[in-house]
Amino acid sequence: MNLLEKATTITTATAYDNGKLHSVKGGSVADFDVVRGSLATRVNSEGLIEDISTLSGELITGGNDTFNVVGLADNQNITIQSAFFSIGKTYKIDFEIYDYIEGSIFLLRPSDLGVGSAVSVNGQYTYTIEANTSTSLIFRTDGLSTTLKLRSISVKEVIDATNIPRIDYSTGEGVILTEPQSTNLITQSEDFTSWNSYEATSNTTTSPSGNSVLFLDFEDARMFPTNSVASGVDYTSSIYLKANKVADVKIRNARGQDTIFTLTTDWVRYELTSTTNSTSTNALLIDARFSQGLGASGLEIALWGAQLEEQSYSTSYIPTSGAIATRLADSITGAGSTDLINSEEGVLYAEIAALADDLTFRGISLNDGTNTNSIGLRYRTTSNRVNVIIKDGNGVNLQMFVDVSDITQFNKIALRYKSGDVSMYINGTEVATSSLAFSFTSALNDFSFDRGDGNDDFLGKTKTVAVFSEALSDEELTCLTTI
- Give tens-digit pLDDT for 283-305: 999 999 999 999 999 999 999 99
Instruction: Say if CB 369 and CB 442 are below 8 A apart.
Output: no
| Average pLDDT for 362-371 | 94
In a shared domain, residues 293 and 436: no
Same domain flag for 474 and 338: yes
Residue 44 lies in a domain: no
254-290 pLDDT, tens per residue? 999 999 999 999 999 999 999 999 998 999 999 999 9
In a domain, 8, yes or no: yes
Total domains in the chain come to 3
User: What integer pLDDT is reported at residue 28 of this predicted model?
Assistant: 61
Residue 83 predicted with pLDDT over 90:
no
Is the confidence at residue 17, as pLDDT, over 70? no
Scored b (16 or more CB within 10 A) or e, 382-403 reads eebbbbbbbbbeeeeebebebe
- Residue ending a domain, among 266, 301, 327, is 327
Half-sphere exposure of 244 (CA within 13 A, CB side): 18
Taking 60 as the threshold, does the pLDDT of residue 102 lie above it?
yes
Closest of 251, 229, 255, 239 to residue 310, by C-alpha: 229
Domain boundary residue, one of 295, 327, 359: 327
Res 326: pLDDT: 93
In the structure, what pLDDT confidence band is assigned to residue 21 with cuts at 50, 70 and 90? Answer: confident
Q: What is the CATH number of the domain that holds 452?
A: 2.60.120.200
Neighbouring CB atoms inside 10 A of 188's CB total 18
Q: How many CA atoms lie within 13 A of 351 on its CB side?
A: 16
More confident residue, 234 or 34: 234
Cα torsion 315, 354, 176, 209 to 10°: value is 30
In a domain, 229, yes or no: yes
Residue 177 lies in a domain: no
In a domain, 402, yes or no: yes
Mean pLDDT, rounded, of the chain = 91
Averaged pLDDT for residues 89-113: 86
Whether the predicted pLDDT of 79 surpasses 60: yes
- Asked if 321 and 427 sit in the same domain, the reply is no
The answer on 446 and 367 residing in a single domain is: yes
Grade residue 64 by pLDDT with cuts at 50, 70 and 90.
low
Q: What is the CATH number of the domain that holds 225?
A: 2.60.120.260
323-351 mean pLDDT = 90
Residues 262 and 306 in one domain: yes
**Predicted pLDDT of residue 63:** 67
Q: Which domain holds residue 377?
A: 3-38+330-481
Pair 477, 338 in one domain: yes
Provide φ and ψ at 189, rounded to 5°. -80, -15
Quick one: 318 and 334 in the same domain? no
> Does the residue 408 lie in any domain?
yes
Residue 173 lies in a domain: no
Supply the pLDDT for residue 422: 97
Beta bridge partners of 178: 460
Asked if residue 372 and residue 240 are part of one domain, the reply reads: no
- Which whole number is the average pLDDT over 392-401? 93
Q: Do 243 and 227 sit in the same domain of this protein?
A: yes
Q: What is the pLDDT of residue 43?
A: 95
pLDDT at 29: 63
User: What is the CB-side half-sphere exposure of residue 215 using CA atoms within 13 A?
Assistant: 19
What DSSP character marks residue 377? E
Co-location of 342 and 322 in the same domain: no
Domain boundary among 108, 129, 160: 160
pLDDT digits (tens, 9 = 90+) for 158-206: 877 678 889 999 988 999 999 999 999 999 999 999 999 999 999 999 9
Percent pLDDT > 90 in the chain is: 63
> Residue 408: what pLDDT?
96
Average pLDDT of 381-400? 94
pLDDT at 127: 81
- Do 137 and 86 lie in one domain? The reply is yes
pLDDT band at 27 (very low <50, low <70, confident <90, very high): low
The model scores a pTM over 0.85: no
Asked if residue 430 and residue 419 are part of one domain, the reply reads yes
How would you label 134-159 residue by residue, b for 16+ Cβ within 10 Å and e otherwise?
bebbebbbbbeebbbbbeebbbbbbe
Tell whether 288 is covered by a domain: yes
pLDDT, tens digit, for every residue of 138-160? 898 888 899 999 988 999 988 77
The answer to whether residue 11 scores a pLDDT higher than 90 is no
